[in-house]
Structure 1
């Protein structure tokens, strides 16, 4: 079954190059002038630049939908919600710049009249006071950081907390980022927000939108997967609690949508209706406003679906505003220990947005994401500046979340490592590159940079068959010399019977089976002096109880031999857009919307695992066996310990 074509009103007004309609430009200018006059009248101000911030701003609440219902068995370090921070980066930057510019200069202001209530970034004091896993306590009002709900676990306490947060913030817009396993909870979060703030507009984005909603230029139609938000609402499987959905390269699209919402709001109550936002979007497009990237904005207006496909210019990932500009770093990763045995404050960073490999089970593949974006212009220098920025925010370590560090490009890795090593070993801050000196301004910044640790992700083939041994060893030495103290590698399975079915960028070499390849890669990393964490995925094609036992045993041998310091068992969970979901016949069966699915043992012991969406190659008995056998054989290095808090 192919994706469903949903009847839609297509507004094809965001095409590059710009083709502005003169009448639309005049109408937009008149509207903006009238709204500015209305703001002045409402605020009793004679001049536009006298309009106070509280008269111009409207509250926005952002949330990350969790994927777990119980803290029991949690296997991941609860890092910062970078998918949410990244999605907000352009909109937050626009709001912060608007707050710094007079309302009397509307042509210079990203938000021309009303603006999200993100007035300023956190101060350094706020950033350094931020605690691991905590929120709504150390955040300064008016910062984007104070308007994020990040529960991590969806339970009765989280539901009650969300109600309290919505009552406190009274948001006009509720932004939710969700992956597929969190989608049912995202829908419930939207319902609760609507109950507490009925006039609030709900916007969904995130990987679930990317995988389930796209625009077909050939057919001029919106294509929706069975598990998509909009189709679930259309056929009654989900409540109509979502007003807008954004998919694709949404950084600029979300910023555009918020500007349209601001333009559509009534000035007295700062509330907007969906039809007025649709009209504002159409007017902005007809007036010639263009944004980069390819994305899709869909609006639900009663029974009508309005679609705004965006086809803009390409952009450099390094040109996007910093995701942490408006947010404190809260992650504490115990794999980066400090001298006092506490876990380092760890920033997340990416220099590419997708994986260049095409594993059939992975939702991070460039085939699923829609293309590969990287730091392009002066990549090493740009990445070093971003690292220095995060150090100035309090980062003591950085983990690169790229599926493969620098997309596996050895020259890029070596160039970045050389730049970082030079910065860390400089005699004084004055010797840093000019673009870094603006961030390293205090003694504590300098101290953190000199002692900075970092980690990243690699693959077995990257360290064996894809490059010569000498080049691999030189690259690993460069990583270690630049301060890399942790590598993470996906083992997937230790069974050749399973790995022969994996559509992965694996160079198959006679007499060099996958098991030997994994051990060789791990040995080379150990010889370079870098600790390694690993992930193991059960439930791939060809999996049986015998292959499960083989993998558990072989990974146990790696543990015994000191080749891995952490082993994380995972269960294959179907993502809507992956090839294995289609080949297993699960594309039209994924239930990521029903609110009453009981998530229970043994599923709760594995991140993202739920009844009905895990691998068809595993029975529930198999999942229990995996949980118990890995706990027994791998011992203390299975999963992670909670970091020690300061």
Structure 2
């Protein structure tokens, strides 16, 4: 029995990754783990149900929630998963009419009034960071009060939707307790990053910061805002050591927008890893205009960093300007060269089909991807997510395909003027094929196959690639 149940609603791998579902990410929801830890620190009896990771449908998930007889059920949802979250909330209400349902996450933070108005099964929405808001909602429910005036809450008031005052962001992330990893399903058998981002198993992801100070026009910053806040190196190392000793995790994928943004913190963390002598490896993400010094890159390599991923997005400077990246193709070339010089592999995230994309800009991207020192590439499609600046312009630059259930970078949900969805899909297939059938990439993966713990994962990914890209049009 738990008084507050936090739920990651059902969302199938097929809905998220399409044809590549068998090798897609299976990631723990760290947002719920932070929420659970905060609530537990306040004395709340809390549980986590990761229905997506456990493969539950909404009926089975609702039954598990109802069996806990909670006062409050907190759900999280992206735009892609909002309908499933609302459906689950409705089934929970059928089984436990007195349970208060609360929704947090990216979608409600970007579309608060619309979400509460559209989905009557949701009692309250949480806009922005959820820890303190969730605790105050629970406190009001427990004593029979109303959460309506809690900061950060959006709610229905008769026929109106009202939004209480926005809650300030946490200033010092190290004041938060360590995530409640113990309340998630067992990490090693349940979760895993994609094969591209896994060097060894067991592996998991980490976020060590919140907020993004950059202004990419395709991103929504509704949950954590634009002000960057970071955990200190000591906090991050404590989390890594705990995961190694209690959950046997040996490989970490840092999913911060840029781990390079504070070189001093990065070097301090790398030295803590080196001093420990533990057999750890990790990958991270960075911006091409934030390359750290050669000294720091060497410390990164010595600490076990095997891959740095860059959100390159396009090989066209014109598209980079349209996307609001604030970077150039030449900066990308220089960043890739510097990282590879230290023996660290490189990966690029590429975005196709944003407003303004043309056949010429697609060719520039193809030439860039095939001509630079890249070991891996993830090619997705622009998705007009609610809250992103570019979403407000899509009607002038093309047409949207499908509703929220199509809102994924793994399928075409927007087609720029002058192009067709089939052209974008064909371009991606051919670029993937041209990239991964090169000798340099074969050599890279041959080296990675020497690691026995991830060999099966890589071979399964190779088979999916051959099925869907090497032998298709």
TM range (shorter): 0.7 to 0.9
Matching residue within 210, 230, 236 for 1:375:
230
Q: Does 1:82 align with 2:30?
A: yes
Q: Does 1:321 align with 2:177?
A: yes
**More off after superposition, 306-315 vs 487-496:** 306-315
Following TM superposition, by how much is the alpha carbon of 1:160 offset from its aligned partner in structure 2, in angstroms?
Answer: 4.5
Q: Does 1:261 align with 2:141?
A: yes
Change in Cα spacing, 1:337 to 1:159, as seen in structure 2 (3 Å) is closer
Q: How does 1:225-264 map to 2 (within 5 A)?
A: 228-230=114-116, 233=117, 238-264=118-144
Question: Retained in 2: the 8 A contact 1:455–1:487?
Answer: yes
Match of 2:451 in 1: none
Q: Does 1:177 align with 2:70?
A: no
CA RMSD of aligned residues (A): 3.6
Match of 1:556 in 2: 370
Instruction: Provide, for residues 481-510 of structure 1, a one-character-per-residue CA deviation record: whole Å limited to 9, x for no partner.
Output: 12212211112011233224332232x6xx
Match of 1:110 in 2: none
Match of 1:584 in 2: 394
Change in Cα spacing, 1:212 to 1:173, as seen in structure 2 (3 Å) is same
Q: How does 1:457-536 map to 2 (within 5 A)?
A: 457-463=285-291, 472-506=293-327, 514=329, 516-536=330-350
Provide the C-alpha distance between the structure 1 equivalents of 2:427 and 2:284, rounded to a whole number of angstroms: 27
Note the residue ranges of structure 1 that are not aligned, 5 or more in a row.
Answer: 1-53, 99-114, 119-143, 214-223, 265-275, 286-294, 425-449, 464-470, 509-513
Following TM superposition, by how much is the alpha carbon of 1:553 offset from its aligned partner in structure 2, in angstroms?
Answer: 4.0
Instruction: Provide, for residues 232-275 of structure 1, a one-character-per-residue CA deviation record: whole Å limited to 9, x for no partner.
Output: x2xxxx341110100122211111112222222xxxxxxxxxxx
Provide the C-alpha distance between the structure 1 equivalents of 2:351 and 2:403, rounded to a whole number of angstroms: 25
Match of 1:414 in 2: 267
Q: Does 1:277 align with 2:141?
A: no
Note the residue ranges of structure 2 that are not aligned, 5 or more in a row.
Answer: 446-453, 460-473
Provide the C-alpha distance between the structure 1 equivalents of 2:402 and 2:31, rounded to a whole number of angstroms: 19
**Higher relative contact order, structure no. (Cα contacts within 8 Å, ≥ 6 residues apart):** 1
Question: Retained in 2: the 8 A contact 1:488–1:532?
Answer: yes
Provide the C-alpha distance between the structure 1 equivalents of 2:65 and 2:290, rounded to a whole number of angstroms: 47
Q: Does 1:573 align with 2:453?
A: no
Provide the C-alpha distance between the structure 2 equivalents of 1:181 and 1:200, rounded to a whole number of angstroms: 25
Match of 1:452 in 2: 280
Q: How does 1:422-441 map to 2 (within 5 A)?
A: 422-424=275-277
Provide the C-alpha distance between the structure 2 equivalents of 1:616 and 1:185, rounded to a whole number of angstroms: 32
Q: How does 1:374-393 map to 2 (within 5 A)?
A: 374-375=229-230, 379-393=232-246
Question: What is the SS of the residue equivalent to 2:387?
Answer: coil
Following TM superposition, by how much is the alpha carbon of 1:180 offset from its aligned partner in structure 2, in angstroms?
Answer: 1.8
Provide the C-alpha distance between the structure 1 equivalents of 2:105 and 2:342, rounded to a whole number of angstroms: 37
Provide the C-alpha distance between the structure 2 equivalents of 1:202 and 1:615, rounded to a whole number of angstroms: 39
Q: Does 1:545 align with 2:359?
A: yes
Provide the C-alpha distance between the structure 2 equivalents of 1:578 and 1:492, rounded to a whole number of angstroms: 16
Following TM superposition, by how much is the alpha carbon of 1:201 offset from its aligned partner in structure 2, in angstroms?
Answer: 2.0
Provide the C-alpha distance between the structure 2 equivalents of 1:189 and 1:473, rounded to a whole number of angstroms: 50
Please give the TM-score of this superposition, normalised by the length of structure 1.
Answer: 0.60
Match of 1:435 in 2: none
Q: Does 1:308 align with 2:152?
A: no
Provide the C-alpha distance between the structure 2 equivalents of 1:462 and 1:484, rounded to a whole number of angstroms: 17
Alignment coverage as a number of residue pairs: 436
Question: What is the SS of the residue equivalent to 1:347?
Answer: strand
Provide the C-alpha distance between the structure 1 equivalents of 2:204 and 2:127, rounded to a whole number of angstroms: 26
Provide the C-alpha distance between the structure 1 equivalents of 2:315 and 2:289, rounded to a whole number of angstroms: 14
Runs of 4+ in 1 over 6 A off after TM superposition: 589-594, 636-642
Question: Retained in 2: the 8 A contact 1:167–1:197?
Answer: yes
Please give the TM-score of this superposition, normalised by the length of structure 2.
Answer: 0.80
Question: Retained in 1: the 8 A contact 2:3–2:69?
Answer: no
